[in-house]
A and B are shown apart, each in its own frame.
Chain A
Amino acid sequence: MTLSARQEQFTVADPLHEIMELQMGPSHPASHGTIKFNLKLDGETIVDCDVEIGYLHRGFEKMCEQGTWTQVFPYTDRLNYASPLINNVGFALTAEKLAGIQAPERAEWIRMLCSEISRITDHLTCLGMAGVEVGAFTVGLYTNEAREYLYDIVETITGARLTVSYCRLGGVTNDLPARFGEVLADRFRKIRAVLADCDKLLTRNRIFVDRMSGVGLLSQDDAISYGLTGPLLRATGVNYDVRKQCPYLYYDQVDFEVPLGTRGDNYDRFLVRFYEIEQSMRIAEQCLAKLKELSGPVMIADSRFALPPKRDVYNSIEGLMNHFKIVMEGIKVPPGEAYLAVEGANGELGFYLVSDGSGRPYRVRVRGPCFFGMASLGQVLKGHMIADIITTFGMINMIGGECDR
């Protein structure tokens, strides 16, 4: 029976079908993420679904207005904590656009490399959990192992696995460690092996395909009207990737493909993410090759924006004052407003910043892609079964920190 026919069936008054109201969540063991579904059920079929978010609201936007521009970076780590480096890069690029500065070329390539590593960790999280949700626990452990390979790498670059705070206005905190390229190439080799295993375990697995294919369908028009971006939108076949359509950093100089789906169901969302991992590794390898021949600073040498070297702070009055002004008063970003979008792991991650010229941001607005996916979930789930909530919710890949801010 088609979806619309099934929906129509339940709009007819039928005394045998009593509509039951059920509140699923906010702490349901099968949903990773604190979220509540207010369901109206006919048997096991969902007649109406009201999605309730906000359980992880920590006042991100309010708190960003209290500190200096630099102090926003640790907060951005905690937006999408499955891919914190992309958040860092997004905020840094937008603030730099507002300040009218550009990071050195080497720093920009490092940012690209880090973004792609983060994208892979995010997709691995999502794919592994997709397996776990339908009973393929092994896949979850395999992808977690692969993710650990990359978290190790992230730790050698930034000093932390998740709370990276790696970017600054005008660059990144430190250069890549020695022999980084060899280690990363080795890790990518291992990840490709894990992915090949996952491919064999899932992609043509009868149980998995039955649970994912044809579930969570969304048309192209609806996806656009809901403002979906990233894998959710590309699964419907709409070719929109910020890296291709509105390139930032040096994405126009690297060679990669954008996987597209055809139907817009959960299976397509899975495949799009799966193939994007390989493309991200391709980009990262090109970044590595470029970084080998590119030397130079990773931070601009402008005392209005960058902290001076410690040697100057301790030995010259100018260095000391520059350091003091940046730490105590914050970077003076000129008054104005700017919007800039980067391709987050789940779609367009946009920052809208307003500055009043003081050392603190006047307004920090994050356009997190998860929020839009969740907005569409109520419509997507109508007519499906309760068990489909888990797979569809998993494929939206809601990250509470980003959705609820």
Chain B
Amino acid sequence: MGLSAVGTLLDTLRARFGGTLLDAHERLGDEAVVVARDHALELFGFLRDDPEMAFDFLIDLTAVDYLGKTPRFEVVAHLFSLPKRHRLRVKVPVDENDCWAHSLSPLWKNANWLEREAFDMYGIRFAGHPDLRRILMYPEFEGHPLRKDYPHNRRQPLIPERDPIENPWPPRRLGGAR
């Protein structure tokens, strides 16, 4: 992709969202914007539906733990537009003590599982998620393993055997965030 095309994508976003974008930059050929949580849904909706943006793929959604910094977490989404053939990284900072973000599941179907994984690994809750429960770990798992303050060799306590009739896996609909 040429440099001019890089310019237009970020310029359009800067012009339209102005102050609500905390940062917009292009490094190593990856374009990225950082947006405050309160404006994230509006931005994602625009990115998906605007014909100039046309980001039809939610390629990936994950989080990064910057332990020691404030805010501590970043929810990172990678978008791809098949018609326009451009990519964008959208980052939403999330504070440790107010650890939730808006769910993208109304916009993309795969957000359901991706957010369940981010919740499982980092303990970030997603407001508006239809079915937020652990996905890779078991329900009795203590802590969130990809957090930087979770030691990689920590042992987990033994758990009693689960009666599949009395207490079936999965305990569905634990409820969304908040």
Q: Are chains A and B native binding partners rather than an unrelated pairing?
A: yes
Using CB atoms and an 8 Å cutoff, list the residues of chain A in contact with chain B.
21, 23, 38, 50, 52-54, 57, 59, 61-63, 65-66, 97-98, 100, 222, 224-227, 238, 240, 245-246, 336-339, 341, 348, 350, 352, 354, 362-363, 365, 367, 371-372, 374-376, 379, 404-405
Check B137 against A52 for contact (C-beta < 8 Å): no
Given the known inter-chain contacts A50-B172, A354-B64, A371-B113, please indicate yes or no for A224 contacting B28, CB distance below 8 A. Answer: no
Closest to B78 in A: A339
Determine, out of B14-22, B39-47, B104-112, the stretch whose residues face the partner at the interface.
B104-112
How many Å lie between the Cα of A404 and that of B87 in the bound state? 25
A238: B residues at CB distance < 8 A: 82
Q: Does residue B89 face the partner (Cβ distance < 8 Å to A)?
A: yes
Instruction: List 16 A-B pairs, Cβ < 8 Å.
Output: A50-B170, A52-B170, A54-B134, A54-B137, A65-B152, A98-B28, A222-B109, A224-B82, A225-B110, A227-B110, A245-B85, A350-B59, A352-B60, A365-B76, A367-B59, A404-B136
B interface size (C-beta, 8 A):
38
A225: B residues at CB distance < 8 A: 108-110
How many Å lie between the Cα of A62 and that of B121 in the bound state? 10
How many Å lie between the Cα of A222 and that of B109 in the bound state? 8
Check B109 against A375 for contact (C-beta < 8 Å): yes
Shortest distance from the beta carbon of A13 to any chain B beta carbon, whole Å: 21
Check A62 against B152 for contact (C-beta < 8 Å): yes
The B interface is mostly helix, strand or loop, or mixed, namely loop
Check B30 against A339 for contact (C-beta < 8 Å): yes
B75: A residues at CB distance < 8 A: none
Within 8 A of A (CB), among B37-92: 56-60, 62, 64-65, 76, 78, 82, 85, 87, 89
Check A227 against B169 for contact (C-beta < 8 Å): no
Partner of B78, one of A352, A372, A374: A352
Check B27 against A341 for contact (C-beta < 8 Å): no
The A interface is mostly helix, strand or loop, or mixed, namely mixed
Other than A54-B134, A245-B82, give 12 A-B pairs with Cβ distance below 8 A.
A52-B170, A53-B135, A54-B137, A100-B28, A224-B82, A226-B110, A227-B110, A339-B89, A352-B78, A365-B60, A371-B113, A379-B109
Check A363 against B135 for contact (C-beta < 8 Å): no
Interface centre among B58, B89, B110, B145 (most CB of A within 10 A): B110
Check B27 against A336 for contact (C-beta < 8 Å): yes
Check A352 against B76 for contact (C-beta < 8 Å): yes
Check A226 against B89 for contact (C-beta < 8 Å): no
How many Å lie between the Cα of A57 and that of B87 in the bound state? 29
Using CB atoms and an 8 Å cutoff, list the residues of chain B in contact with chain A.
27-30, 56-60, 62, 64-65, 76, 78, 82, 85, 87, 89, 108-110, 112-113, 121, 134-138, 145-146, 150, 152, 164, 168-170, 172
Check A240 against B82 for contact (C-beta < 8 Å): yes
Check B87 against A376 for contact (C-beta < 8 Å): no
How many Å lie between the Cα of A337 and that of B23 in the bound state? 15
B60: A residues at CB distance < 8 A: 339, 350, 352, 365, 367
A66: B residues at CB distance < 8 A: 152
Going nearest first, the 8 A-B pairs with the smallest beta carbon separation are: A54-B136, A227-B110, A375-B113, A367-B60, A225-B109, A57-B136, A226-B110, A365-B62
Closest to A57 in B: B136
Check A352 against B62 for contact (C-beta < 8 Å): yes
B85: A residues at CB distance < 8 A: 245-246
Shortest distance from the beta carbon of A194 to any chain B beta carbon, whole Å: 34
Closest to B150 in A: A62
Given the known inter-chain contacts A225-B109, A245-B82, please indicate yes or no for A62 contacting B146, CB distance below 8 A. Answer: yes
Closest to B164 in A: A23
How many Å lie between the Cα of A350 and that of B62 in the bound state? 12
Closest to A375 in B: B113
B59: A residues at CB distance < 8 A: 227, 341, 348, 350, 367
A363: B residues at CB distance < 8 A: 64-65
Check B78 against A367 for contact (C-beta < 8 Å): yes
Shortest distance from the beta carbon of B80 to any chain A beta carbon, whole Å: 8
A57: B residues at CB distance < 8 A: 136-137
A367: B residues at CB distance < 8 A: 59-60, 78
How many Å lie between the Cα of A224 and that of B108 in the bound state? 9
Check B108 against A227 for contact (C-beta < 8 Å): yes
A348: B residues at CB distance < 8 A: 59
B146: A residues at CB distance < 8 A: 61-62
Shortest distance from the beta carbon of A358 to any chain B beta carbon, whole Å: 13
